Amino acid sequence: MTNLYLIGFMGSGKSTVGRLLAERIGWSFADTDDEIVRREGMEIPEIFAKGGESFFRDLEQATLLELSGRSGWVIATGGGIVLRGRNVEIMKASGKTVYLSAREEVLAARLVGDPAVRPLLGGDSRIARLHELLQERRGMYEWADLTIDTSDQTAQAVVEAIVNHFGLGEPGGRAVRLG
């Protein structure tokens, strides 16, 4: 099974890049957060309120496990998916990974004004919480097969960098499988 997983902190561009990348190479697309929302019938803040972060991480892992059994998918993951070593093993065993990073101030600009309330950034001190989470997760994404800083790039430029790095296709969407 071969898939392409996009990992990185919230706000790094995984969902946007993932959709464009899948379209560009002719693969299917899934976003683990969107899949969880669809399956549970409630938004992520509601899921966190109902069962807490651990409950959400269980749902996230089950979703990843199911998606990893497919082939030819671009999968945008939640920023905290790397918190469980088993998730890292699943991704390594079933595809290639791209770590989308961004500078802290860029993430802050993207996230603080975001109308979608992100449960882990809730409260009055969103910038302080963002900094804290970035520190906690420092180094947790670096195992990826490719790292791209999205801070000063368009989503399309990031897509082309991924396509070129992995030799994933030609213009027009004709794709090759990762091997």
Q: Cα–Cα–Cα angle for 110, 141, 45, nearest 5°?
A: 50
Residue stretches of the annotated binding site for ATP: 11-16, 118, 153
Q: Measured between alpha carbons, how far is 81 from 93 in angstroms, rounded to an integer?
A: 15
Residue stretches of the annotated binding site for Mg(2+): 15
Residue 60 near residue 78, CB atoms below 8 Å: yes
Residue stretches of the annotated binding site: 11-16, 33, 57, 79, 118, 137, 153
Q: Measured between alpha carbons, how far is 59 from 142 in angstroms, rounded to an integer?
A: 24
Q: Measured between alpha carbons, how far is 98 from 100 in angstroms, rounded to an integer?
A: 6
Residue stretches of the annotated binding site for substrate: 33, 57, 79, 137
Helix %, strand %, coil % for the chain, to 5?
Answer: 55, 15, 30
Q: Measured between alpha carbons, how far is 170 from 179 in angstroms, rounded to an integer?
A: 17
